[in-house]
Structure 1
Amino acid sequence: MEIKKQAEMNDKVVKILLLGASDSGKSTIAKQMRILHTDGFTHEERQHYKYMVQSNYIDSFVHIAKGIYKLQIDIPPSERELISTFEQSYYGQYFNMTESNDLIGIIVQFLNCKCVKAACSRLMEFYVPDNTTYLLSQVSRIIHPEYSPSLDDIIRARASTKGIYEIIFSFRQFTIRLIDVGGQKTERRKWIHCFEGVTAILFIVSLACYNNVLEEDANINQMTDTKDLFKQIYRNKFLRPSSLIMFLNKMDIFAEKLKYAPLENFYPEFKKELSEEMTDEELFDVAIDFVKSLFSKIKGNDRRPLYMHTTNATDTRNVDFVFNATCDIILTKNMKSNGMA
């Protein structure tokens, strides 16, 4: 009886592996699950996110400084030293050299530079982290001495996932174990430790990465890396029994980017899908279908189902709706395989 009871309990545990390349939005999805299905974040965690959000400004400033040089924006003599310091830095280096009490002053000083204001009006013309526009819109609140991060701030805070993190929560009559692992190339060798007993793979793709390169290797396009990674996951024999769901994420950024960085510049074959009278909405729909086809080609004629959804991981309601639809697929298949349906 004990063995049977344990087996029934195991049948109600659903293990979902959250995979994707670095900067795909995996960890944002994981944070949304904590907001939607757990008690959220402790006071100590919020303090950690306060530090992270404020330090994210430094990350954005490094990229804005690089953008100023890339766009050849005129830099007044009084601003050259500060801009040059950021341009030659990388995330964390400048911040570690700076007392945290001075961070607010640095943020204000940088944003008051004329060349920075010029660059901020042209953010789509060079790479900046996805949360840059949000951070710039929230400066007065975030630099306030009594600042405490909101849920929106926490969702948009950026930090590379190192190691393996697990979120456990109840969903209907099941227990969900959501495993989030680092997406950088150096972190992927750890994934094998999570492959046992996986009910479903939730693979996250950044739609907006088609014109970006990897931070760790500027010779590799991010979308190319994502496709190669998906191919490895799809063909992995240990994951063959697992349901496969793909979130085509960052659809809001993708829609905006299409206006400034035409998809056909990176995928010439996309040009034949275009017409002169096409509206922005039609362009977006056709571009989504094209990206879907890039991954469907990897699948080929294989009958294994691949479920695709477009998402905006920073939109809690969108994530809730899509995740519920995803769980319907996963749980239905899980119950059938366990003879429960």
Structure 2
Amino acid sequence: MVHESVDEAKVVEKVEIIVRKIQLQKSQAIDAELKKEAINNIRIVKVLLLGTSNSGKSTVAKQMRILHTEGFTEAEKIHYKYMVHSNYIDFFSQIAKGIAKFGIKVAPKERELVATFEQAYYGQFMNLDQADDLISLIRTFLEFACVKEVINERLNELDVPDNTEYLLENAQRILTEHYSPTHDDIIHARAATKGIYEIIFAFREFKIRLIDVGGQKTERRKWIHCFEGVAAILFIVSLSCYNQVMEEDSQINQMSDSIEMFKTMYRNRFLRSSSFIMFLNKKDIFAKKIHQIPMEQFLPKFGDKMKANPNLSGDELYAAALDFIKQMFSSVRRQDKRQIYTHVTNATDTRNIDFVFNATCDIILAKNIKSAGMN
């Protein structure tokens, strides 16, 4: 009887050992699966591309298409062809208004077309044959003496789009019947982003999900739907917008709007764990503009700073103005110790964006791996 009890106890003990082994194996399998899932999760990195209208954020998105995907389809190139032509109409309106503003003499035979372009928008010309009539009108307008005078002598006094100089320099090539846009043309093509667009591409052993959302005030309510699982905010700022007002509200300075938007994002509770990277963009335009249009006229506090160094010029003025804008954005941190990684960029320069984006991704991926406990 005692012997049977001992044997029975040994059997129970063996069963318990086997059960514990099975449970341990299951636990290890679950741990391995969880670890595998964690690895897979960190290998898909979600980056939200934000910025106000005309900041250049969609230009950054197009650069990613060129650098990290197969580029643009033939159908997309046709779309960009029409967009590039429409961009001529966009700045022709400003030139025509400039002719009137500056009191430039207009030849009788030129008056009708100048008046047409003064109130022009691209939709007016959609019934024209794109490869013939519209291109002919654009080329004719550019040959007018009054137009040449504005372009050659007064263009910097007008609020023309940033791609105007590029379009003028390349007009002879672009304004041809069999024109097909190059990568540079697509990069310089300008149109407001409506809705939400996603680009997925491989970067080293990771996949980047870059989400580009519209920067207009009417588009911003859609952003909240994109906040879940965001590894980083890539916030684009136009350095050259300090003297410009919003298209939607002429009472609001674009730089002030950009700072306010950045503050809202930085302090958003859903983005507390996200990295913040800022591209201070359009450095080339900014470097020219600060010598033509004093920044202190639009940002009075910079004027206070300039009083201590009234003779700044050239590179020193550029450095002081750039540092001032950096400080305006970094001030939103208050006591928050989260770092803001800042880069100065020119989004139309593919090599510059390639270098800066690689450095940006290194920051994002390193933090993503660390936060997942995979280092």
C-alpha separation in 2, matches of 1:26 and 1:320: 14
- Unaligned runs of 5+ residues in structure 1 are none
Q: How far did residue 259 of structure 1 move? A: 1.5
**Helix, strand or coil at the partner of 1:177:** strand
Residues 199, 330 of structure 1: 8 Å contact kept:
yes
Higher helix share: 2
Residue 188 (structure 2) pairs with residue 156 (structure 1): yes
Distance 2:279 2:354 in 1: 13
Instruction: Tell me, yes or no, if the aligned pair for 2:192 and 2:214 is still in contact at 8 Å.
Output: yes
| Residue 230 of structure 1: aligned partner | 262
Q: Distance in 2 between matches of 1:92 and 1:72?
A: 26
Select the residue among 73, 83, 93 that pairs with 1:42. 73
Report what 1:94 is aligned to: 124
Pick one of 61, 65, 80 that aligns with 2:111. Answer: 80
Determine which of 292, 306, 312 is the counterpart of 2:326: 292
For residues 100 and 292 of structure 2, the distance between their equivalents in structure 1, rounded to whole angstroms, comes to 19
The superposition leaves residues 145-173 of structure 1 with CA deviations (integer Å, 9 ceiling, x where unpaired) of 22111110010001111111111111111
Answering whether residue 363 of structure 2 is matched by residue 339 of structure 1, we say no
Change (3 A) 1:223 1:72: farther
Question: Aligned partners of 1:262 and 1:196: how far apart in 2?
Answer: 41
Larger radius of gyration: 2
C-alpha separation between the residues in 1 aligned to 2:38 and 2:250? Answer: 49
2:203 is the counterpart of 1:171: yes
Aligned 8 A contact 2:237 2:280 in 1: yes
Contact 1:248/1:311, CA 8 A, preserved across alignment: yes
Check the 8 A contact 1:61/1:86 in 2, yes or no. yes
Deviations 1:163-219 (A, max 9, x none): 111111111111100000111111111111111100000000000111111122222
Aligned counterparts of 1:4 and 1:304: Cα–Cα separation in 2? 27
Q: TM-score, normalised by structure 1?
A: 0.95
Q: Which runs of 4+ in 1 moved over 6 A?
A: none
Report if the CA contact (8 A) 2:242-2:299 is conserved: no
Q: Indicate yes or no: 2:223 matched with 1:191.
A: yes
The answer on whether the counterparts of 1:27 and 1:180 sit within 8 Å (CA) in structure 2 is: yes
Structure 1: distance between partners of 2:251 and 2:239: 19
Give distance in 2, aligned partners of 1:72 and 1:218: 25
Q: State the SS of the aligned residue for 2:179.
A: coil
Alignment correspondent of 2:64: 33
Q: Are the equivalent residues in 1 in contact too, given 2:201–2:209 (CA < 8 A)? A: yes
Q: Would the aligned equivalents of 1:58 and 1:95 in 2 still touch at CA under 8 Å?
A: no
Post-superposition shift, 1:42? 1.2
Tell me the matched-pair count. Answer: 340
Distance 1:299 1:67, change over 3 A: farther
The alpha-carbon distance between structure 1 residues 140 and 247, as it changes in their structure 2 partners (threshold 3 A), is same
121-130 or 67-76, which deviates more: 67-76
One-letter code aligned to 1:80: R
Shift of 1:251: 0.4
Q: Distance between the aligned counterparts of 2:257 and 2:310, measured in 1?
A: 31
TM superposition shift of 1:67? 2.5
Report deviation, 1:99: 4.0
Which residue identity lines up with residue 124 of structure 2 in the other structure?
Y
Do structure 1's residue 131 and structure 2's residue 160 form an aligned pair? no
Q: Distance in 2 between matches of 1:224 and 1:131?
A: 23
Residues 67 and 127, structure 1, Cα contact 8 Å, conserved in 2: no
Which residue of 305, 308, 317 maps to 2:339?
305
Q: Deviations over 1:31-68 (max 9, x none)?
A: 10111111111111111111111121111111222232
Partner SS, residue 196 of structure 1: coil
CA RMSD of aligned residues (A): 1.5
Task: Give the Cα–Cα distance (whole angstroms) in 1 for the partners of residues 253 and 98 of structure 2.
Answer: 19
Q: 2:142 aligns with which of 108, 111, 131?
A: 111
Instruction: Report what 1:58 is aligned to.
Output: 89
Structure 1 counterpart of 2:233: 201
Shift of 1:266: 0.8
The change in CA–CA distance for 1:97 and 1:73 in structure 2 (over 3 A counts) is farther
By how many angstroms is 1:224 displaced?
1.4
Per the TM alignment, residue 260 of structure 1 is displaced from its structure 2 partner at its CA by 1.2
Distance, in Å, in 2 between the alignment partners of 1:41 and 1:16 is 21
One-letter amino acid of the structure 1 residue matched with residue 122 of structure 2: G
Among 207, 219, 225, the alignment partner of 2:251 is 219
Q: Give distance in 2, aligned partners of 1:70 and 1:300.
A: 45
Conserved 8 A contact 1:246-1:307: yes
Q: Unmatched 5+ residue regions in structure 2?
A: 1-28
Aligned equivalents of 1:266, 1:97: Cα separation in 2: 42
Task: Specify the SS of the correspondent of 1:270.
Answer: helix
Provide the residue aligned with 1:182 in structure 2.
214
The normalised TM-score by structure 2 is 0.87
Task: State the percentage of identical aligned residues.
Answer: 62
- Counterpart in 1 of 2:53? 22
